[in-house]
Amino acid sequence: MDYERNKALLLELQRAAGSGNDRCADCGDPDPEWASCKLGIFICLNCSGIHRDLPEISRVKSIRLDFWEGNLIEFMRNHGNLWAKAKFEAKVPPYYYIPKSCDCLVLRQQWIRAKYERGEFLDTQVCQDPCSAGSREGCLWKLGKGRKQFQKRQFLLSAREGVMKYYSKEVEKIGHSHGLQITYITEGQTRNLFVYHESGKEIVDWFNAIRAARYHYLKTTFPNVPEPELIPRITRNFAKEGYMEKTGPKQKEVFKVRWFCLDSQERNLIYFKNPLDECARGQVFIGRREEGYEVRDDLPQKVWAKKKKPVITLVTPVREFVFICESDWKQREWMDALNRVITQL
């Protein structure tokens, strides 16, 4: 009898308006079907898997499938997601990346461990200033010149020197689950650095240290810009990435496959020979429609592409760039992404 009644009470708690329990306490996914009865929070299936590995601090139960004793229901009622947020996320630094459900495992794992296991954001913690948080020294495995082997290298990050052009993002494409892509600009050239570390904590700490350094730079360069506008600029936003084929300036050259990244913030379409290349081969600035920029889904006159594949012509005041896409679907995606940059202010 208690089984059904307690389950109904728990579901009511999970759905209660304004309780914060209708979304996962860790990633924000709607309708969490699991709970940590040790922490008193409602969580999604994905995050419950991470909690299961932390028996010291958490205990996972299914809302629907497990038996809930009356005293546990009472405990959940007295705690819940809003309570946990106030306690465990009291002092999350503004630059700290809070992962969503679509982010890779290492980011979600470390967010949960930082919160509950290490208590990094408790009210009792002294807030780190972004400048000291943006300094870091240590060893990372760096992808070497041949793009095949990793070598152990010493890295130094200093918020005060030259890091304002660094961006970082978690990657799995290098074949390592604790991988990091660091993109930076030096003498007008976009460069990538691919690194990893055996420890998930170490790589996420590097990721957030780079964010802290960039945050510090933005804060000092744009002191009057409000914080909510600065935060999205911490991470370089590649609106789209993928392969296309391009020809040269005469438009008679052989089409070559390149890896393209569209940076919507800097309005640049950057291309690399391979996705893991250190240096960009080139980049195309994308201005506004009023300035004469345009994308079309056909070829310019006199240009001839051998393959019967969907094409994109990017018109700039200087020249026309022709790209061949892998499929109609990819062509649509690239055109939409390029059009968004052309129409953005």
**Closer to Zn ion by Cβ: residue 7 or 51:** 51
Alpha carbon 117 to its chain centroid, in Å, reads 23
CB of 270 to Zn ion, least distance (A): 33
CB–CB of 277/290 below 8 Å? no
Q: Are 21 and 36 a contacting pair, CB within 8 Å? A: no
At closest approach, how far in Å is the CB of 51 from Zn ion?
Answer: 10
Interface segment toward Zn ion; rule CB under 5 A; list 40-48, 149-157, 230-238, 299-307: 40-48
Residue 39 interacting with Zn ion (CB under 5 A): no
Shortest distance, position 336 Cβ to Zn ion, whole Å: 29
**Nearest alpha-carbon partner for 273 in 252, 246, 254, 253:** 246
Q: 46 or 339, CB closer to Zn ion?
A: 46
Least CB distance from residue 48 to Zn ion, whole Å? 8
Of 41-49, 132-140, 169-177, 190-198, the segment contacting Zn ion by CB under 5 A is 41-49
44 binds Zn ion (CB under 5 A): yes
Rule CB under 5 A: choose which of 13, 21, 23, 24 binds Zn ion.
24
Between helix 80-88 and helix 70-78 the angle, nearest 10°, is 50
Q: What are phi and psi of 115, to 5 degrees?
A: -70, -60
Q: How many CB atoms lie within 10 A of CB 323?
A: 24
C-alpha distance from residue 231 to each of 9, 73, 184, 262, 331 (Å): 39, 38, 18, 20, 31
Nearer to Zn ion, 54 or 163 (CB): 54
Residue 106 CB, shortest distance to Zn ion, in Å, is: 15
Least Å distance between CB 47 and Zn ion? Answer: 3
139 vs 153: CA distance, rounded Å: 5
Nearer to Zn ion, 44 or 262 (CB): 44
Strand residue runs (E) in 210-297: 238-246, 256-263, 268-272, 282-285, 294-296
DSSP annotation string for 155-194: EEE-TTSSGGG-EEEEE-TTS-TTEEEEEEEETTEEEEEE
Query: Rounded distance, CA 239 to CA 98, Å?
Result: 19
**Min CB(82)–Zn ion separation in Å:** 16
Of the pair 101, 177, the CB lying nearest Zn ion is at 101
Q: Is 163 in the site for Zn ion (CB under 5 A)?
A: no
For Zn ion (CB under 5 A), the number of binding residues is 6
The four Cα atoms 250, 255, 256, 259 give a dihedral, to 10 degrees, of: 90
Only segment of 36-44, 252-260, 267-275, 311-319 that touches Zn ion (CB under 5 A): 36-44
Q: Rule CB under 5 A: is residue 263 a binding residue for Zn ion?
A: no
Minimum CB separation of residue 317 from Zn ion in Å reads 47
Q: Which is nearer to Zn ion, 47 or 286 (CB)?
A: 47
Task: Select from 61, 83, 202 the least CA-distant residue to 138.
Answer: 202
Among 10, 27, 50, 133, the residue binding Zn ion under the rule CB under 5 A is 27
Candidate residues 10, 39, 41, 47; the one interacting with Zn ion per rule CB under 5 A: 47
If one asks whether residue 41 binds Zn ion (CB under 5 A), the answer comes out as: no
Using rule CB under 5 A, residue 26 touches Zn ion: yes
| Angstrom distance (rounded) from CA 243 to CA 247 | 13
Q: Catalog residues that contact Zn ion under the rule CB under 5 A.
A: 24, 26-27, 29, 44, 47
